[in-house]
Structure 1
């Protein structure tokens, strides 16, 4: 608990360093407190929306201290606090991938092969393209 309160007391201190113990125990207590809030709410029959509201309220209450202890932890590993913004990349990467998967492909042939929309038969990519092959006599 001492490390949790130490991080809370330094809630606006974005300079200096924080040990791993301070960082991880602060986050552990955050998770435990959130778990207790949601468990007690569920146990006492509180509506799910209300439990979610109280959990979210707690998360917003510790947002600045969480950012501060994370920045100080980055400083402890000799990195700028701006490195915490890398958390944005996975979400951005997911949306970029979804965009690439959802947009229409390049019309016509490209470096990786022919346009699959030009194929009229399902599975024709695995079949021979030689027109004479299909006209051969099978006797």
Structure 2
């Protein structure tokens, strides 16, 4: 949960670097929260009902900017420009390339986007 909150605290911060753990823990928490919202929406209202759609819609709007920010910071960690995020616009091939960028290891040295985040203490 600390990794999730660290990304939320950097809500729209596109500068700097985000290590793999920060990115993937954020994605995991979003997945779990999405499942929870789906369950709550199904209990409160019918599956395709207005309440179910509005709960997931509100959460999606809330998390949209932090998701893109942490993705750009993850690209910076691999010493790539944040503009590489636009490769997602290429069907299938773009998503495969972006996935590879997200799973490769950090640039071990300081790069143009800042110092190696692995050397910094983990969020509390």
Is 2:81 aligned against 1:76? no
User: Could you tell me which residue of structure 2 aligns to residue 23 of structure 1?
Assistant: 23
SS in 2 for 1:48: coil
Equivalent pairs counted in the alignment come to 92
* Higher alpha-carbon Rg: 1
Q: What's the offset of the Cα at 1:16? A: 0.5
User: Could you tell me which residue of structure 2 aligns to residue 137 of structure 1?
Assistant: none
Structure 2 spans left out of the alignment, 5+ residues: 95-124
Give 4+ residue runs of structure 1 displaced > 4 Å after superposition.
Answer: none
Q: What's the offset of the Cα at 1:62? A: 0.6
User: Could you tell me which residue of structure 1 aligns to residue 107 of structure 2?
Assistant: none
Q: What's the offset of the Cα at 1:2? A: 0.1
CA distance in 1, matches of 2:74, 2:12: 14
CA distance in 1, matches of 2:25, 2:13: 18
User: Could you tell me which residue of structure 1 aligns to residue 66 of structure 2?
Assistant: 65
Q: What's the offset of the Cα at 1:58? A: 0.5
Structure 1 spans left out of the alignment, 5+ residues: 94-139
Quote the RMSD (CA, aligned, Å).
1.7
Larger RCO (CA within 8 A; separation ≥ 6): 2
Higher mean displacement: 42-51 or 80-89: 42-51
User: Could you tell me which residue of structure 1 aligns to residue 13 of structure 2?
Assistant: 13
CA distance in 2, matches of 1:63, 1:49: 22
Under a length normalisation based on structure 2, what TM-score does the superposition of the two structures give?
0.68
